[in-house]
């Protein structure tokens, strides 16, 4: 069994992106399919996928094979080497400097598969172990030599990211944690294609889901072989009481707090017309607590310098409970949309008599509600592949304490950061723990354990299967497994031979020989089925990773608007790693949000819960929520 130290040390950490248009080539009758090319003489970096060399090759021979596709080993302007990176593990291919005209020539050579014009991805942005129920441990990263520097002050280049992935696979890592947003279809994205190779070699790939919520269809990293993570809150609050003159106290938060509460009440200044707080006259804010819109914080410093007693930044309504804390002056308090609405109503109704003060309560643990899906966290369904549920899972990603020794933070060499890039490493850590306990599990089994063993009530397009539960994930009872052949059948159904050649790149697999796997038949731990009055059948296969003798019985508690029949309704396992299949027949009368079926086991401490949500065309079925019996809400 691999040591936990090595597993945790072998995480490859990369940061997040901003999308730009992709330019690509396909060798289809040598037709160029680049979009928007304007200058055929300028040099660009391209990621070029080619067939492997027609002989057993070491890295030097790969290098020579790749150079055989190029017009010369150096460009014609500055004499720089054309071959930027040579890849052997993420795929057979290379990064090179070419003009558009030269790429046309390369694309006509035998063995050429596909080319992508390089994009630049941009960087985005501890209480959580205890919140997740984990014991304190020792940090291993400082003692390790792993980690690939693929980003600089400008951003993260595709060619460098792929070089980092290539090196990580060579290092034999167990988990990749990728906080880069992939927004293109996975057959059009070289990073997603490279991550398929990582998955095929047994590496668990965890990706952030993006920070473009709460709009639907904003989820990133939607390839089914990735664990797509979104961000939620923890039960920690940097609590500040905003005490009103009418005796009411509202909940606020502030990173920087003073030891004593305000000695008196101050007039409360709020104007709907001045929500951005662009007060041009200093005396208008002197010795007052000013209420401002959280979307316009750039006037805060000038307001405080003008003598304001304090500032309250209240969220917009779409942010809900989410308060993403900033490293502001101690006189600044941030507030949720709900509490902010109460504060504004009081200020407007009481006019000149409205008064308030702050009382500082430091860090408060056990705050509720928690976890809550962060408003900025991207939402599903996938705009490219809605038949596979994305995101996969929710993890802490709001106001996470992080070491930032290079910052000039007011709280020292630390900072509070928010984003799905904060959430993904939590799932990476859980995946490493699972791999340490079950080193023979496939990446899909690890994903299934994470997805199956969680708790939550929010919309599945907001939180996937729910909030991660590491203890349950380590011992899930049943998992849904997937291998390269399963994904290949799905790719054949979705994209045909072209997609199979580009993504899987295995000559022994052809769409003519593979069974086509529809999205609903992919052995995913969730199911999306059409919302139709006619019967719709779905099959799933589960693997017993619990005790050898185990029985699961389907106990259906469905809304009247939906009928579900599970066959067989009992799964009896007699040995470990045994596989059993069942089918579900779904028939909908009308959409309904009512939580649905339960599959329970009297001999094993697992309650398998299937909540249902609807969209205009689908019902989403989440299988196997491992909350304990009696805890279901």
Q: What is the CATH number of the domain that holds 149?
A: 3.40.50.200
Q: So what's the pLDDT on residue 140?
A: 41
Q: Tell me the two tokens of residue 301.
A: 């410093």
Q: Tell me the two tokens of residue 373.
A: 């899906």
Q: What is the phi/psi pair of residue 339, to 5°?
A: -70, -35
Is residue 376 domain-shared with residue 439, that is, in the same domain?
A: yes
**Sheet hosting strand 598-601, strand order edge to edge:** 570-573, 550-555, 598-601, 606-609
Question: Domain total for the chain?
Answer: 4
| Integer CA distances (angstroms), 357 to 277, 285, 297, 339, 353, in order | 19, 15, 20, 15, 13
Rounded CA separation 394/372 (Å): 9
Say if residues 416 and 401 touch (Cβ distance below 8 Å). yes
Nearest partner of 194 among 232, 158, 245, 218, judged by Cα: 158
Is residue 296 domain-shared with residue 419, that is, in the same domain?
A: no
Q: Tell me the two tokens of residue 55.
A: 């002989």
Nearest partner of 613 among 385, 380, 372, judged by Cα: 380
Residues 6+ apart with CB under 8 A from 281: none
Question: Could you tell me if residue 320 is inside a domain?
Answer: yes
Is residue 438 domain-shared with residue 361, that is, in the same domain?
A: no
**Domain span holding position 618:** 523-633
- CATH number, domain of 595, equals 2.60.40.2310
Question: Could you tell me if residue 391 is inside a domain?
Answer: yes
User: CA-CA-CA-CA torsion for 155, 255, 335, 400, nearest 10 degrees?
Assistant: 50
Say if residues 221 and 178 touch (Cβ distance below 8 Å). yes
| Integer CA distances (angstroms), 237 to 251, 467, 584, in order | 10, 19, 43
**Can you list the positions of beta strands (E) in 389-501?**
393-396, 400-403, 414-417, 454-455, 467-468, 478-479
Nearest partner of 67 among 100, 111, 24, 17, judged by Cα: 111
Rounded CA separation 11/14 (Å): 10
Is residue 353 domain-shared with residue 258, that is, in the same domain?
A: yes
Question: Could you tell me if residue 508 is inside a domain?
Answer: no
| Integer CA distances (angstroms), 133 to 51, 130, 212, 457, 473, in order | 48, 5, 29, 19, 12
Beta-carbon count within 10 A of 298 CB = 9
Domain boundary residue among 87, 118, 149? 118
Pairing of strands 12-14, 175-178: parallel
Is residue 331 domain-shared with residue 410, that is, in the same domain?
A: no
Q: Tell me the two tokens of residue 624.
A: 């196997």
Is residue 567 domain-shared with residue 624, that is, in the same domain?
A: yes
Rounded CA separation 604/243 (Å): 50
Question: Could you tell me if residue 108 is inside a domain?
Answer: yes
Pairing of strands 289-293, 310-314: parallel
Beta-carbon count within 10 A of 369 CB = 8
Q: E strand or H helix at 94, and its extent?
A: strand 93-99
Say if residues 609 and 621 touch (Cβ distance below 8 Å). no
Is residue 255 domain-shared with residue 360, that is, in the same domain?
A: yes
- Residue in this structure with the two tokens 């090196």, named with its chain if needed: 167
Is residue 71 domain-shared with residue 162, that is, in the same domain?
A: no
Pairing of strands 175-178, 204-208: parallel
3-class DSSP state for residue 360? strand
Q: Tell me the two tokens of residue 411.
A: 């709280």
* Peptide bond preceding 515 in cis form (omega within 30 of 0): no
- CATH number, domain of 298, equals 3.50.30.30
Q: Tell me the two tokens of residue 565.
A: 């029949």
Is residue 247 domain-shared with residue 359, that is, in the same domain?
A: yes
Domain boundary residue among 55, 89, 118? 118
Domain boundary residue among 72, 100, 118? 118
Q: Tell me the two tokens of residue 217.
A: 């269809």
Q: Tell me the two tokens of residue 619.
A: 């019902």
> Please, where are the H alpha helices in 279-402?
300-305, 337-350
Question: Could you tell me if residue 250 is inside a domain?
Answer: yes
Instruction: Return the axis-axis angle of helices 190-200 and 484-499, rounded to nearest 10°.
Output: 150
Question: Could you tell me if residue 425 is inside a domain?
Answer: yes
Question: Could you tell me if residue 490 is inside a domain?
Answer: no
- Residue in this structure with the two tokens 């205890």, named with its chain if needed: 130
Rounded CA separation 290/331 (Å): 10
| Integer CA distances (angstroms), 182 to 11, 103, 421, in order | 19, 24, 13
Is residue 424 domain-shared with residue 357, that is, in the same domain?
A: no
Question: Could you tell me if residue 489 is inside a domain?
Answer: no
Nearest partner of 476 among 583, 393, 585, judged by Cα: 393
Say if residues 42 and 99 touch (Cβ distance below 8 Å). yes
Question: Which residues of the chain fall below pLDDT 50?
Answer: 1-40, 125-132, 135-147, 592-633
Q: So what's the pLDDT on residue 211?
A: 92
- Whole-model pTM: value is 0.84
Is residue 179 domain-shared with residue 241, that is, in the same domain?
A: no
Rounded CA separation 38/100 (Å): 9
């Amino acid at each position: 069994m691999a040591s936990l130290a090595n597993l945790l040390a072998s995480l490859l950490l990369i940061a997040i992106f901003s999308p730009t248009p992709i330019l690509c080539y396909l060798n289809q009758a040598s037709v160029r399919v680049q979009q928007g090319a304007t200058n055929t003489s300028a040099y660009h970096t391209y990621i070029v996928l080619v067939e492997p060399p027609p002989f057993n090759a070491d890295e030097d021979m790969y290098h020579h094979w790749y150079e055989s596709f190029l017009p010369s080993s150096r460009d014609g302007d500055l004499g720089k080497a054309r071959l930027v990176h040579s890849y052997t593990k993420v795929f057979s291919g290379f990064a090179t400097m070419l003009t558009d005209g030269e790429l046309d020539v390369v694309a006509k050579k035998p063995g050429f598969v596909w080319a992508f014009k390089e994009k630049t991805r941009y960087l985005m942005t501890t209480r959580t172990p205890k919140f997740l129920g984990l014991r304190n441990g020792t940090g291993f990263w400082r003692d390790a030599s792993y980690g690939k520097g693929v980003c600089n002050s400008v951003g993260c280049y595709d060619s460098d990211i792929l070089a980092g992935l290539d090196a990580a696979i060579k290092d034999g890592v167990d988990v990749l944690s990728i906080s880069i947003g992939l927004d293109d279809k996975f057959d059009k994205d070289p990073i997603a294609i490279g991550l398929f190779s990582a998955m095929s070699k047994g590496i668990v790939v965890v990706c952030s889901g993006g920070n473009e919520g709460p709009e639907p269809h904003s989820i990133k990293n939607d390839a089914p072989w990735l664990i797509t993570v979104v961000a939620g809150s923890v039960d920690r609050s940097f609590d500040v009481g905003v005490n009103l003159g009418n005796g009411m106290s509202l909940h606020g938060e502030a990173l920087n707090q003073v030891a004593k509460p305000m000695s008196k009440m101050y007039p409360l200044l709020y104007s709907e017309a001045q929500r951005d707080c662009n007060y041009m006259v200093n005396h208008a804010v002197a010795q007052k607590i000013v209420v401002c819109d959280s979307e316009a914080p750039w006037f805060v410093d000038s307001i405080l310098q003008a003598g304001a007693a304090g500032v309250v930044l209240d969220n917009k309504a779409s942010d809900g409970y989410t308060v993403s804390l900033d490293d502001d002056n101690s006189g600044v308090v941030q507030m949720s949309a709900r509490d902010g609405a109460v504060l504004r109503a009081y200020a407007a109704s009481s006019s000149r008599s409205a008064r308030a003060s702050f009382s500082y309560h430091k860090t408060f643990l056990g705050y509720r509600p928690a976890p809550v899906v962060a408003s900025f966290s991207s939402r599903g369904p996938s705009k490219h592949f809605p038949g596979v549920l994305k995101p996969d899972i929710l993890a802490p990603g709001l106001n996470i304490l992080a070491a930032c020794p290079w910052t000039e933070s007011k709280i020292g060499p630390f900072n509070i950061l928010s984003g799905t890039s904060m959430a993904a490493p939590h799932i990476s850590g859980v995946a490493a723990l699972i791999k340490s306990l079950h080193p023979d599990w496939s990446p899909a089994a690890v994903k299934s354990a994470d997805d199956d063993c969680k708790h939550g009530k929010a919309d599945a397009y907001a939180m996937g299967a729910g909030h991660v539960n590491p203890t349950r994930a380590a011992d899930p009872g049943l998992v849904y497994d997937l291998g390269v052949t399963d994904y290949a059948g799905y790719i054949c159904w979705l994209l045909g031979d072209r997609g199979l050649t580009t993504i899987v790149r295995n000559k022994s697999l052809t769409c003519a020989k593979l069974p086509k796997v529809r999205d609903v038949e992919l052995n995913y731990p969730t199911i999306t089925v059409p919302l139709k009055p006619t019967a719709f059948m779905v099959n799933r296969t589960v693997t017993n990773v619990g005790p050898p003798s185990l029985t699961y019985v389907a106990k259906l508690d469905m809304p009247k608007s939906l009928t579900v029949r599970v066959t067989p309704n009992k799964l009896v396992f007699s040995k470990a790693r045994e596989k059993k299949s069942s089918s579900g027949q779904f028939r909908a009368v009308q959409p309904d949000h009512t939580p649905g079926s339960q599959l329970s086991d009297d001999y094993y401490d697992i309650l398998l819960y299937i909540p249902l949500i609807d969209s205009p065309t689908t019902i989403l079925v989440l299988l196997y929520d491992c909350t304990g019996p009696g805890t279901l809400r």
